[in-house]
Amino acid sequence: MTRAMRVDSERTIQVILEAAERVLRADPAASMGRIAEAAGVARTTVHRRFASREALVEAMAAWAAEQFRDAVAAARPDAAPPLVALHQAAANVLRVKVDWGFAMSRAATGEVARIHDEVRQACVRLFQRAKDSGALRPDVDVEWARRVYYALISEAAEVGRAGGDVDELAARVVGTLLEGVGA
């Protein structure tokens, strides 16, 4: 296969995945035909790339997990100052969760579960760095803080899907995590 054909094939797959995310987010029961129509390709093209609807959804979940991992890595959780990394990771992950909400809502199995575990470990290290730097109280349970952070990001993603500004939402996530909501 020539490089041009490979790039074209990859582009077609990307277009199908993006269309599938839009269509399935709006209607989780949508057919492969509706997805093909939204992608601007023939239904046979979708079936040639993905043997079944389940295979398409699995590919979407894998793509979203890779984007999730890349979003966290781009925040440099092991090198950037901890609070900067927390904010940047929140903003980056929110962008993925807003754009790939359907795919990110699928149960993580196989490679997707492995990627999610890799991200979880990076976040635990980041929270430990934040604790060691004094950004978090010395008595903070790092795993609990990570779980709260994830929950705040999930809630912020809902607001983001409704049109909320991702950077403002990331600031709110980190602010709530660090300061809480008490008086």
Taking the C-alpha atoms of residue 176 and residue 126, their distance in angstroms, rounded to an integer, is 17
Choices 3.90.930, 3.40.50, 1.10.760, 1.10.10: CATH for 1-50:
1.10.10
Confidence (pTM): 0.84
The class that CATH gives domain 60-179 is mainly alpha
Sorted by where each begins, the domain ranges of the chain are 1-50, 60-179
What is the number of other CB atoms lying within 10 angstroms of the CB of residue 149? 21
Predicted pLDDT of residue 81:
96
Predicted pLDDT of residue 121:
96
List the pLDDT tens digit at each of the 183 positions of the chain: 566 656 677 888 889 999 999 999 999 999 999 999 999 998 998 988 898 888 999 999 999 999 999 999 999 999 999 999 999 999 999 999 988 888 888 777 888 899 999 999 999 999 999 999 999 999 999 999 999 999 999 999 989 988 889 999 999 999 999 998 877
Taking the C-alpha atoms of residue 21 and residue 80, their distance in angstroms, rounded to an integer, is 32
What is the number of other CB atoms lying within 10 angstroms of the CB of residue 56? 20
- Tokens 């023939």 correspond to 42
Q: Is 178 left (phi over 0), alpha (psi -120 to 50) or beta?
A: alpha
What is the number of other CB atoms lying within 10 angstroms of the CB of residue 161? 14
Predicted pLDDT of residue 11:
87
What is the number of other CB atoms lying within 10 angstroms of the CB of residue 20? 27
Predicted pLDDT of residue 1:
53
Predicted pLDDT of residue 183:
72
| Residue 12: closest CA among 40, 32, 31 | 40
